[in-house]
């Protein structure tokens, strides 16, 4: 939204519910409707776009591919949405699913000579610690499980009591530097890229809290992924998580959609969103992506609060807790919500200590 505003592009927002954080920002004035149901339903989408077209009077509308649930829905209903004048900015579903589904992308990476963590034949063959990863986005019962870290026998039994083993595959847990390779593959063949190293994460493999820009996107590892995505015929936004350990790089997962710490590449002056907007002819040119990457930080203070509230801890990657605390003044200056347009959210985050024992 910050990028849209900066480029003078008109937009509207469909809020999730009355508690959507967007209603506490300057962008609340762009909220045109609040969803009546949490589930994505074509009936309601038709209704919402009737309201939108009445206000904006445009012939075509570009919908942002923000979440996995939304993107799967957009893929499923692409033809109907196209008839409504809605552009779905995603590659075809076969390519998308091959990247987004963790097992198929892991298999694909190995075919292209990209390292992945060791896989176990079954959960009983796995050595602690290991990761249980869903093979596909949808499990056999229609649920959407996420990766689960298993460090001991108790965790293993809790997993077996809660999930169907057949929906998962099992990989060695890699302990090492955590890096995101960030790409936009333009339909004209141009590739825009950046990378970040993640230092602080919410517990249980959840969202990243603190990160900085790096130059990993200029490495041979990054080029290998570029070749893979081009060979697949992929276009659009994609983030690849890799772990760097013992002089090897391991592909952990890929997300062909928007991702949490996106403000980092905006602040770094390598705005992948502008590459996206240019691809769909909403801006005339993409500002140049300089080869040099100056140090830029990303920080989400509320993520610290949420992690302590839910699990009592945060996880550090390649950073000592003391160093993190000593540099807090630098991190807080990069806080994603400590900005004029979202300051009310930041004020709420500052109160979070009252909610933590």
Q: What kind and span of H or E run contains 297?
A: strand 297-299
- What pLDDT score was predicted for residue 353? 55
Tokens of 109: 């990476």
* Cα 298 from chain centroid (whole Å): 14
The answer to whether the predicted template modeling score (pTM) of the entire model surpasses 0.75 is yes
Give φ, ψ of 131 to 5 degrees: -120, 130
105 vs 339: CA distance, rounded Å: 37
- Is residue 285 classed as helix, strand or coil in its secondary structure? coil
- What pLDDT score was predicted for residue 356? 44
For CA atoms 62, 71, 22, 48, give the dihedral sign: positive
- What pLDDT score was predicted for residue 56? 87
Domain locations along the chain: 2-90, 118-172, 177-355
Q: Which residues of 60-86 are buried (b: 16+ CB within 10 A; e: fewer)?
A: ebbbebeebeebbbbbebbeebeebeb
Cβ atoms 198, 315 nearer than 8 A: no
C-beta neighbour count of 108 within 10 angstroms: 19
Q: Is the CATH code 3.30.470.20 the one for domain 177-355? A: yes
Closest CA to 337 of 347, 327, 324: 347
- What pLDDT score was predicted for residue 352? 72
Closest CA to 186 of 114, 295, 280, 263: 280
Tokens of 244: 């760097």
- What pLDDT score was predicted for residue 291? 66
Tokens of 212: 């900085």
HEC string of 115-157? CCCCEECCHHHCCCCEEEEECCCCCCCCCCCCCEEECCHHHHH
- What pLDDT score was predicted for residue 355? 47
pLDDT by 10s per residue, the chain, length 357: 999 999 999 999 999 999 999 999 999 999 999 999 988 999 999 999 999 999 888 989 999 999 999 999 999 999 999 999 999 999 999 999 999 999 999 999 999 999 999 999 999 999 999 999 999 999 999 999 999 999 999 999 999 999 999 999 999 999 999 999 999 999 999 999 999 999 999 998 999 999 999 999 999 999 999 999 999 999 999 999 999 999 999 999 999 999 999 999 999 999 999 999 999 999 999 988 866 778 999 999 999 999 999 999 999 999 999 999 999 999 999 999 999 999 999 999 988 755 444
């Amino acid at each position: 939204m910050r990028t849209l505003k900066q480029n003078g592009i008109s937009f509207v927002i469909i809020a999730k519910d009355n508690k959507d954080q967007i209603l506490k920002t300057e962008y609340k004035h762009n909220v045109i409707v609040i969803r009546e149901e949490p589930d994505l339903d074509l009936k309601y989408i038709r209704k919402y776009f009737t309201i939108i077209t009445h206000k904006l009077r445009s012939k075509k509308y570009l919908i942002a591919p923000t979440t996995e649930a939304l993107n799967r829905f957009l893929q499923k209903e692409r033809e109907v949405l196209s008839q409504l004048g809605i552009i779905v900015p995603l590659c075809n579903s076969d390519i998308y699913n091959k990247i987004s589904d963790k097992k198929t992308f892991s298999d694909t990476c190995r075919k292209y000579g990209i390292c992945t963590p060791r896989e176990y034949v079954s959960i009983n063959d796995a050595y602690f610690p290991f990761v249980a990863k869903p093979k596909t986005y949808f499990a056999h019962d229609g649920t959407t499980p996420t990766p689960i870290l298993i460090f001991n026998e108790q965790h293993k039994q809790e997993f077996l009591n809660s999930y169907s083993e057949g929906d998962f595959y099992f990989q060695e847990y890699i302990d090492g530097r955590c890096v995101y390779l960030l790409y936009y593959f333009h339909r004209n063949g141009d590739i825009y890229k950046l990378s970040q190293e993640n230092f602080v994460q919410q517990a249980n493999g959840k969202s990243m809290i603190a990160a900085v820009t790096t130059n990993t996107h200029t490495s041979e590892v990054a080029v290998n992924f570029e070749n893979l995505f081009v060979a697949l015929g992929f276009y659009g936004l994609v983030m690849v998580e890799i772990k760097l350990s013992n002089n090897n790089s391991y592909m952990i997962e890929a997300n062909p959609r928007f991702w949490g710490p996106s403000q980092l590449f905006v602040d770094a002056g390598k705005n992948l969103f502008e590459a996206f907007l240019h691809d769909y002819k909403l801006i005339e040119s993409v500002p140049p992506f300089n080869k040099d990457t100056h140090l830029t930080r990303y920080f989400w203070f509320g993520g610290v609060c949420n992690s302590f509230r839910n699990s009592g801890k945060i996880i550090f990657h390649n950073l000592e807790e003391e160093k993190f605390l000593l540099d807090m003044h630098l991190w807080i200056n990069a806080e994603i919500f400590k900005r004029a347009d979202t300051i009310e959210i930041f004020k709420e985050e500052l109160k979070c200590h009252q909610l933590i024992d």
